[in-house]
Each structure stands twice: as C-alpha cells, then as structure tokens.
Amino acid sequence: MTKPGDVFPIGGTSMITLTWATIVVIAVVVVKVTISLWNTVRRNQKMAKEFPVPPGSHWLLGHMVLLGDEGRGLMLKAMEWSKIYKYAHVIRMGPLLQHCSVYHPDYVKAVMSRADRKDDYVYSFLRPWLGDGLLTSAGPKWFRNRRLLTPGFHFEILKPYVRLFSESTNVMLKNWEELKSGSSIDVFHHTSLMTLDSMLKCALSQHTDCQTSRKTNDYIAAVYDLADLTMKRGRTLLLRSDLIYALSADGKKYRKACNLVHEYAKRIITERREALKQRHTQDDEEATNKKKYLDFLDILLKARDEDGNGLTDAEIRDEVDTFMFEGHDTTASGLAWTLYCLARHPGHQEKCRKEAQEMLQGRTEVTWDLLPSLKYITMCVKEAIRLFPPVPMIFRHLESPLTFPDGRTLPEGSRVGISTNTLHHNPHVWENPMEFDPLRFSTENSKGRHPFAFIPFAAGPRNCIGQHFAMNELKTAVALILQRFSLTPDNTLPEPIPVPKLIMRAKKPGLFLKIKSLTA
C-alpha cells in the first residue's frame, strides 16, 4: 500500500519501455509529417507541370508578394494573366501552399459539377463562428442538411419576405431623406445595415432599430468584427497558425465576438422552442395561421428527415450564424456596386427609374407579383454583379482526381480556386469585359451563353441556396431607391476601388455616392 509522500518508482525496465515508446511515437509522427510533406511537394510539382505558373513568384512567399493593396494587386494580375492563359494557372501562397486557379467556363463546370469539400485554407477560419453550417460542412452531413433546408427557400416561403425587404429599404431611405440633398454617403455602410436588418427579420423575426439607433447593437457589432477579423487573418501569414491566433489580440477579440453571437442565437432558439411548446398546448393550427410569415428559424425547427429526426440546437445555431454571415454582406455588396454602376451610367439609371415608377405607381412597397416586371433593373443588377462579383473567389479540395475537358488532370488532394472575378472578366468569354453593358443579359443576348460563364451564386450542387432571396432583395431595393433618389459619383473623392476580401468590398474610404431626393 502506498503512503502519503511515497514517490511512484519507475524501475529500470519501465524506464527503458517508456524511452522506447517515446522514440516510436516521435518516429511515427516524423514519418507521417515527412510523407504528408512529400505528397504535397509531389502534388504541387504535378500541378506546375500541367498548368502554367505565372511570373513573379517569390521562392518563399510565392505570389503573395503580388497581393498589393488588400489583395487588389493579385486580383488585377490574375485578370491580366487570363489574357495569356485561357483556362487556368497556378498560384503560390507560400512555400507549400499552392492552388490551381480556374476561370474558363469549361474548367469551372468540371469543378463545380462535383460536390468536393470546401478547402480548409479559407473556410477553417470561419469554422469557430459558423461551425458545421451549410457553407462549411461536407459529406453526408452537408447533404442531409441541404435537403432539410431547401424547402425554406421555396417561393411560397420567400413571398412575404418581399414586404420585409421594402420595409428595411424604406427605413434606409428615410435616413437618406433626413440628410441634406446632394450629400455624399458611403453607400456600403448603409446597404450593409439595411441587409442585416432584413436578415434579422427574415431569419429570426427580430425587428430591431439597427438602422436608426445611434448606439450599435452588440450582436451587430460582433457580426461585423467576425467578418473583418476573418478577412484579416486570411491575409496575415503569421495569424494562420491556430496557436498564434489563439494567443493574439485579434484571436481573443474573435473568441469574444464568437461567444456573443453564439449566446444570442442560443437564447433566441431556446425562446422559440418554448413558444412552440406553449403553442402546442393551445390550438397549434390557429397559432400558426396567425403568424404572418415563417422565418428561417421556424423552418429549421420544423425540419425532419425521413427517419423523423430534426436538427439539434447546435446544428440550428450553426445554420442561423451561416445565414447571418452569408446572407447579409454579400447582398449589401451586390447592392452597393449596382448603385455605383448606375451612378456612373445615368442613361441606364434613368431607364431603371422609369421602370420602377411605372411598376410602383407611387406606392412605396414592392410586392411579389410586381418583381417579374423589373426586367431592366434585373439586367443592371446582373451586369453589376458580373463586374463586381460579391464572392470573388471560392475554394475546393479535390476528394478524387479531376480530369478537365482538354485532358489535363489534377490529383486528389489538390486545392482549386474558382475565380469568379477573373471568369467574369475573361476576354476569351466576354466581349469588352470591362464595359458596363446590361443588355448582355437581355433574353436575346443571353442565348447560347455557356451556363458556367456567369456564376455570382456559384453553380452545381453547392450553389448558393439563398440566390432567389438575394435577387428579390436586390431588385426590390434598387426599384425603391431609384423611385425616390438620383445617384451621382462623388467627383471630389477618388474612384471607389474594389478589393477582394471574403466579399468584394470597397477600399477605404469606401464607396461614396451623392444622393439627391427626387421628392423634396
């Protein structure tokens, strides 16, 4: 029996066993790491043999040295390279980190027709926030949840949201009316608050004063922080390490914001579950009918697979966080750049305004049945998100080898980047690609276009589940804005500069336009 103070003895034999065990563990780790490095080097070499490596790659930092102003340098270079390399080229982001960037419709189709998992390089930075939501999950889990969530985007569900989009846009326009006519405003800031307001209503039935309150709501501030911190981490080599990030000031701020948004979603889910339980005790049918619309949370709570199993609270939270991220800033970016294009092209702006006025006849609410008549506005929105795709780059990790139509192949484990921005400016695909020409999207001119030439919402099995939601919001907002305001560029400031972050943003100071009320 051991007494207090006894030290457990390690005899000679145990000591030798322990030493050997340690050596074996270290050897296994070293062998595994060496094999993994060797495989990466071989994969990279094979990729570089099949596909051109553009000039300017540094021996250690690769093409990162060309990133330039917040990634804009490399974005412009990639557009230049697409003139020389028609389909794809290699991009090096460090000594071992390398991907094949594809931007020709035939190549994009080959990648997007499969459901390979998202690449860890970018999406892992989102995982602590979005967990295993639709955007970041893979395999059977993604497949099941995608099937469970798809009914939530049926047009019957989306119909009542158009009224909510009108409501949020009108709050933004009321704010604009309070400004002096001819004021210059950062449109991005306004559209971002407006789409967040809409998303809170459609996803969670949260009607907040986020657009009018002077004090920033904690939840909204945390969502902004998380998006900004994720972008910053992606372009800072040192912060890519989980350990360094966890110890850094940014990492601590990220964790705090993550906890805040998770707690917020958890509280709303619990409250809604309680409310649903209460409703079961009353007349369930009657209570559901009284509610004016189903929000995404209702859909998530009701979803059942064929075995009758629903989503857990953690899964619901991940999906709520995913919608809040994927669904607001992307739409804000699309709207801000559409307004910018229309400000620069007064002729197209006037045509859109005429269409909006004819459709609205003085009303301040767009309704579902009016949306199909917004044909010219739809063409302008599409052309704007061709020129300024809200999601400029998407990454995939090949789970099996991929052969392209011309016979070139990429081995399993390769990282592929689908550059929406380069594809949308590829001179082998688009005539005068830099020109804003909404008529490209007329029915006539769209005939015969490759289905993978224009992919702002991605394509194939992992396309954007919210694309109709987003297009409805964009059309509604543009119609209501142009009915009441005229937009012109602010020539006292430099031209807004697009920068490819997680979404296409405008470089500081932002995207400023002059707004003039037409009703004052």
Would residue 196 be called left, alpha or beta, if left means φ above 0 and alpha means ψ between -120 and 50 degrees?
alpha
Q: How far is the CB of 500 from ligand HEM (least distance, A)?
A: 13
CB 447 within 8 A of CB 477: no
- Least Å distance, CB 389 to ligand HEM, is 7
- Looking at beta carbons only, is 190 or 514 nearer to ligand HEM? 190
Question: Which is closer to ligand HEM, CB of 396 or CB of 514?
Answer: 396
Distance CA 223, CA 383 (A): 29
Q: 516 - beta bridge partners?
A: 486
150-175 residues labelled b (16+ CB within 10 A) or e (exposed): eebbeeebbeebbbbbbebbbbbbee
- Across 109-194, the runs of DSSP E, i.e. the strands, are 117-118, 183-186
The Cα 482–Cα 499 span in angstroms is 26
Residues in the chain: 520
Nearest distance, CB of residue 323 and ligand HEM, angstroms: 5
Instruction: Compute the least distance from the CB of residue 151 to ligand HEM, in Å.
Output: 14
Which is closer to ligand HEM, CB of 66 or CB of 202? 202
Kindly provide the residue ranges of all beta strands, DSSP E only, lying in 306-420, ordered along the sequence: 393-397, 402-403, 409-410, 415-419
- Judged by beta carbon, residue 64 or residue 391, the one nearer ligand HEM is 391
CB of 264 to ligand HEM, least distance (A): 18
**Shortest gap between Cβ of 146 and ligand HEM (angstroms)?**
5
Binding site for ligand HEM (CB under 6 A): 118, 134-135, 146, 322-323, 326-327, 330-331, 334, 390-391, 394, 456-458, 462, 464-466, 469-470
The answer to whether the beta carbons of residues 186 and 511 sit under 8 Å apart is yes
Place of tokens 């005939």: 447
Give the tokens for residue 431: 């005539």
Q: How far is the CB of 494 from ligand HEM (least distance, A)?
A: 26
Tell me if 62 sits within 8 A of 92, measured CB to CB.
yes
Instruction: Read off the tokens for 39.
Output: 């495989």
**By C-beta, is 61 or 301 nearer to ligand HEM?**
301
Rounded Cα–Cα distance for residues 420 and 392 (Å): 5
From the DSSP assignment, how many helices (H) and strands (E) are in the chain? Answer: 20, 12
Instruction: List, in order, residues 6 or more apart from 319 with CB less than 8 Å away.
Output: 133, 134, 145, 149, 296, 300, 311
Nearer to ligand HEM (CB atom), residue 423 or residue 515: 423
Q: Any known ligand binding at 464?
A: yes
Burial class (CB in 10 A: 0-12, 13-18, 19+), 337: buried
Nearest approach, Cβ of 272 to ligand HEM (angstroms)?
18
Structure token pair of residue 88? 């794809």
Nearer to ligand HEM, 359 or 504 (CB): 504
Q: Which residue is nearest to ligand HEM (CB)?
A: 466
Contact predicate 424/389, CB 8 Å = yes
Q: Residue 337 or 512: which CB sits closer to ligand HEM? A: 337
Question: Residue 89 — φ and ψ, nearest 5°?
Answer: -155, 170
CB of 16 to ligand HEM, least distance (A): 52
From the CB of 504, what's the least distance to ligand HEM, in Å? Answer: 9
Omega before 392 within 30 of 0, i.e. cis: no
Output 126 or 239, the one with its CB closest to ligand HEM.
Answer: 126
CA distance 409 to 51: 9
Q: Rank residues 57 and 322 by Cβ distance to ligand HEM and give the closer one.
A: 322
Give residue 509's identity as a one-letter amino acid code.
P
Cα–Cα nearest to 203, from 153, 271, 262: 153
In sequence order, the 6+-apart residues with CB closer than 8 A to the CB of 175 are: 190, 211, 212
Cβ at position 179, least distance to ligand HEM in Å: 26
Nearer to ligand HEM, 336 or 515 (CB): 336
Q: Which of 478, 246, 505 is nearest to 371 (CA)?
A: 478
Binding-site residue numbers are 464
Binding-site residue numbers for heme are 464
